[in-house]
Amino acid sequence: MTVRQSIVFNGDLGSGKSTVSVVIAERLGLRRVSVGDLYRQMAQERQMTALQLNLHAELDQAVDGYVDQLQRDIAASGESLVMDSRLAWHFFTDALKVHMITEPAEAARRVLLRPSGPAESYISLEEAKLKLRERSESERGRFLIRYGVDKARLRNYDLICDTTRAPADEVIERIIDVYEGRLAPEVLGGAPPLLLLDPARIYPTEDIAGLRGLWDSTFVDEVAAMGETGLEPLEIGYTGEYFFVVNGHRRLSAALRNGFRLVPGRLVAEVDEPVVGDISAIDYFAAQVRPSLIHDWEAAHEIRLPLPEHALFTGDAVLAGEPGSAG
């Protein structure tokens, strides 16, 4: 078993990075460094909000320069630690790079529950969603221009973890399992990232009627006995916004019926990478995922999947208010 030196976290605002990284640092006996805390302190000292500091940093390289040098120095020191930072994955080589994601409305709800301060304060769910998106877009643009890296590309990371429904203690256990080599080492050792996704947020790409053995109760019971960590990883595509299953519908269905909150996956293609032949992930998703297919999957598993924009203009669009609609 090979254990990497450090764990570096980044991801969506409101995804639980601080909560998870604090506990993992304590569990592993490692020092924790939070660049987010540092930025909030810098914003407060300048009497700015976090968003205002982000926008200011687009013009003033000294803001990022100070933090970047700090991260370079820590990475070069060889110290094993836990780092909560938007860009640590770019500076650290021998580290487990964890990217945490969550559904935007859930992220906004979480940040609204935090104690507000001068650097970060919101008055409504909609304002929180808007400001979080603006901050993320500001950072992404700044990193693309300044470093030539795209923080939204999943292949920058070793582990993608969706915290939308999974409680913090489950997320913590899974990350430690990955760090210590107990969970899906073949994915990390072969073609990372390993995906730990909420099965209720993964779109099907095949009609239920054509999936043989989908309702095999014996298989569902077998999956229940395996548990989330024993499930063979699904083959997953990613459009940049939506995750979809390329291979593994039966396993995904069984996971949903067993109430799993995380399922392992292997990234087949993201955004412009080909899924089959020269068909990109975006084009494959648009061609395969129709409103009727979403509706049938929702009805079978008692979940709701937001209707993707492309599906609003297809011939079998679902009426507003029905399962499969965006409302």
The DSSP result for 203-214, as a single string, is EP-S-GGG-TTT
Write out the residue range of the structural domain in which residue 213 sits: 198-313
Q: Are residues 124 and 208 in the same domain?
A: no
Within a domain: 192: no
Q: Are residues 23 and 121 in the same domain?
A: yes
Distance CA 7, CA 176 (A): 10
Within a domain: 280: yes
* CATH number of domain containing 216: 3.90.1530.30
Is the distance from CB of 170 to CB of 176 less than 8 angstroms? no
Helix pair 125-147, 61-77: axis angle to 10 deg = 70
Q: In what order do the strands lie in the sheet with 95-101?
A: 31-34, 81-84, 6-11, 95-101, 159-162, 194-197, 263-270, 234-238, 243-247, 202-203
Q: Are residues 15 and 127 in the same domain?
A: yes
Helix pair 291-301, 249-257: axis angle to 10 deg = 40
Q: Are residues 138 and 242 in the same domain?
A: no
For each successive 10 residues of the chain (327 residues), what is the average pLDDT? Answer: 78 92 97 78 66 63 75 88 92 93 94 71 87 89 91 97 97 96 92 96 92 80 94 97 96 96 97 96 96 94 93 55 34
Q: Which of 119, 152, 185 is the last residue of a domain?
A: 152
Q: Are residues 228 and 136 in the same domain?
A: no
Q: Are residues 136 and 271 in the same domain?
A: no
Q: Are residues 40 and 140 in the same domain?
A: yes
Contacts of 106 (CB under 8 A, 6+ apart): 14, 164
Q: Are residues 204 and 262 in the same domain?
A: yes
Cα 285 to Cα 51, 243, 326: the distances in Å are 33, 9, 17
Is the distance from CB of 56 to CB of 48 less than 8 angstroms? yes
Within a domain: 174: no
pLDDT of residue 5: 85
pLDDT of residue 205: 96
* CATH number of domain containing 38: 3.40.50.300
Q: Are residues 24 and 139 in the same domain?
A: yes
Q: Are residues 138 and 202 in the same domain?
A: no
Query: The dihedral of CA 221, 227, 231, 234: what is its sign?
Result: positive
Within a domain: 82: yes
Within a domain: 275: yes
| DSSP assignment letter at 154 | G
- Neighbour-count burial of 212, counting CB atoms closer than 10 A to its CB (0-12 exposed, 13-18 middle, 19+ buried): exposed
Distance CA 139, CA 56 (A): 11
Within a domain: 158: no
The number of domains in the chain is 2
Distance CA 52, CA 238 (A): 31
Q: Which of 90, 120, 152 is the last residue of a domain?
A: 152
Q: Are residues 238 and 131 in the same domain?
A: no
Within a domain: 235: yes
Question: Kind and range of the H or E element at 194?
Answer: strand 194-197
Is the distance from CB of 38 to CB of 67 less than 8 angstroms? yes
Say which residue the tokens 């203009």 belong to.
313
Q: Which of 116, 133, 152 is the last residue of a domain?
A: 152
Q: Are residues 49 and 132 in the same domain?
A: yes
Within a domain: 61: yes
Token pair belonging to 252: 């995904």
Number of H helices, E strands in the chain: 13, 12
